[in-house]
Amino acid sequence: MRRHDRPTGNHDPSQRPKRLTDGQVLRQLLPYLWPAGQTGIKVRVVTALLFLAAAKAANVSVPIWYKGAVDALTAGGNLAASPAVAIPVGFILAYGLARVLSLAFGELRDAIFERVSQRAMRVAALNVFRHLHALSLRFHLERQTGGLSRVVERGTKAIDSLLGTSLFNVLPTLLEILLVTGILWHLFDIRFAAVTFATVAGYIWYTITVTNWRTRIRRDMLDADTRASAKAIDSLLNYETVKYFGNEGFEASRYDKALRAYEDAAVRTQSSLSLLNVGQGIIIAAGVVSVMWMAAGGIISGELTIGDFVLVNTYLLQLYQPLNIFGFVYRGIKEALNEMERMFELLAVNREVEDAPDARPLTAKGGEIRFEGVDFAYDSRRPILKGLDFTVPAGHTVAVVGPTGAGKSTLSRLLYRFYDVTGGAVLIDGQDVRAVTQDSLRAAIGIVPQDTVLFNDTIRYNIAYGRPGATQADLDRVAEAAQIGDFINSLPDGWDTLVGERGLKLSGGEKQRVAIARTLLKNPPILILDEATSALDTHTEREIQAALGLAARGRTTLVIAHRLSTVVDADEIIVLEAGRIAERGSHAALLAQDGAYAALWAKQQEGVAV
């Protein structure tokens, strides 16, 4: 089978994956709480659960000691005559000890489980971060970074929220409900247990039903919040463009429209919350009144004591307090699951470009580049490259020129394997780029792009990004080679100068020199110059061109250019038109052909003369 007959990947990764159910979200979370091979984490989980059970056992014993004290006091006769005998010291001390133990066990539980919770958040965020970097360029071009960062941020925080609410609120509350129901049945009769259980069941049913309805409203609010945040970040990142066109009012209008949608959704959310709280209050009040009415009747008939009445009342108050929180907790769980679902959906996005199961590291001997019958289309309805066939010999420089839309910049994206070809093959030293690991492939290639985007950090950080951990001597060497050393040393803060968001504090020429320096630091055998000087003035272009010439020396270089004056010294020039090679040869040979290249050269020369 020929190399270019290999099956291609999925070219529709932007298709939204199916929504995850709550159960699927929880199953994806479980490995973070019970990680394979992490015995220490598992021990913490089990220990925390044991402390949880101990805390609840101590808590449900509190009303029993309280009842004992009340009964002893009401049966003590003349308290003034013998106060030391009448005061139920044992019951009071037991009551105080039970409350302290309940609190202590709860705090120990939280302290022990915190490592589990924080580790789950860290590992989940790291996995999503790595996956986002592994996704194709197509995915990132179709998504807004601000919206993605908000999804990841809220998703990781939702893990902590879910663990804190479900594990340490829902589970203890359910355990306490069962214990209290059993105690009431044992101490009194089934009527008390039945009314208590019916009240709890009605409360939970009402809470779940209304909360599920509210979840849809809440999801609309989150969507509106994400859109508003994405619009704000996108506008601020394009601050200069907004200023160029005087569109501050237009941007404010777009942002306000997104905020208005959030406002409306937030109002609906609060209104539905009020309805939920009122209904919960009615159910709880009905249950409390019913059980206390039965207890009061028992006292009148002589079947129950004052202590029993206090016991029932205390249990109900003690039970309904966490149950009341349970309504809030359930809402929090649904919201956390919704936010985690969005984050885990990112993990389900198809990578489109993946290493083959048998992929091996690239062996770059000389760096020969070969495009062998390459077909490619971002969209199957609009082909970009059509049977492209050319070679860049090791150590040589080949330039690709042509009109806008001819497919020039697509070459670098295919060489880096940001996309896979739809036909043919791209080879480096005879190795199909689809058959080698992406890390080794990209380690062998350096690029100086047209629009150099820098990190909002220091000049040192941005140049050292070419090889993290490089020494200062290495940085000084590449800075001098890129002709930016004198500029750096002239700055008040020198290498520690901050370059601003996307490098906006530097000029175009300065940013290009930083890009050249960090590519030299990387020291790859293959160099791509993708319209590296097209955005610069003529004087700066000549200076940068000299630095680029030094950078290309001894390397296999693919030059993608619009200005023909920058490629006259290339070993071969390829003229690309509509995804096909129209002409090829040296500068002199192409001028002698008096074809498309000669016409384009003449036109650009006229522009320079003017």
Nearest to 208 by CA among 338, 390, 354, 334: 334
Q: Checking DSSP bridges between strand 397-401 and strand 556-560, what pairing results, if any?
A: parallel
Distance of CA 342 to the CA centre of its chain: 9
Angstrom distance (rounded) from CA 509 to CA 446: 18
Helix, strand or coil, per DSSP, at residue 190: helix
Per residue in 118-139, pLDDT (tens digit) is 888 888 888 888 888 888 777 7
Q: What is the pLDDT of residue 14?
A: 42
In the chain, where the domains are located: 22-347, 369-609
Q: What is the pLDDT of residue 558?
A: 93
Residue 390, pLDDT > 90, answer: yes
Per residue in 22-80, pLDDT (tens digit) is 788 888 888 888 888 788 888 998 998 899 889 888 888 888 888 888 878 876 544 44
Same fold flag, 22-347 and 369-609: no
Q: What is the pLDDT of residue 472?
A: 93
203: Cβ contacts below 8 Å, ≥ 6 apart? 280, 283, 284, 287, 323, 326, 327
Nearest to 554 by CA among 574, 527, 518, 516: 527
Which CATH architecture best describes the domain 22-347? Up-down Bundle (1.20)
Per-residue DSSP letters for 95-140?
HHHHHHHHHHHHHHHHHHHHHHHHHHHHHHHHHHHHHHHHS-HHHH
109: Cβ contacts below 8 Å, ≥ 6 apart? 48, 51, 52, 55, 168
Residue 8 DSSP class: P
* Sheet bearing 526-530, strands edge to edge: 445-448, 526-530, 556-560, 397-401, 572-577, 580-585
Q: What is the pLDDT of residue 88?
A: 78
Residue 534, pLDDT > 80, answer: no
Q: Checking DSSP bridges between strand 445-448 and strand 526-530, what pairing results, if any?
A: parallel
Angstrom distance (rounded) from CA 563 to CA 533: 8
Angstrom distance (rounded) from CA 106 to CA 118: 18
Per residue in 424-466, pLDDT (tens digit) is 999 999 999 999 999 999 999 998 888 888 889 999 999 999 9
Class of the CATH-defined domain 369-609 = alpha beta
Angstrom distance (rounded) from CA 542 to CA 557: 18
Q: What six digits make up the tokens of 462?
A: 């941005």
Angstrom distance (rounded) from CA 10 to CA 349: 11
76: Cβ contacts below 8 Å, ≥ 6 apart? 85, 86
Per residue in 330-377, pLDDT (tens digit) is 777 877 888 888 888 888 887 888 888 999 999 988 889 999 999 999
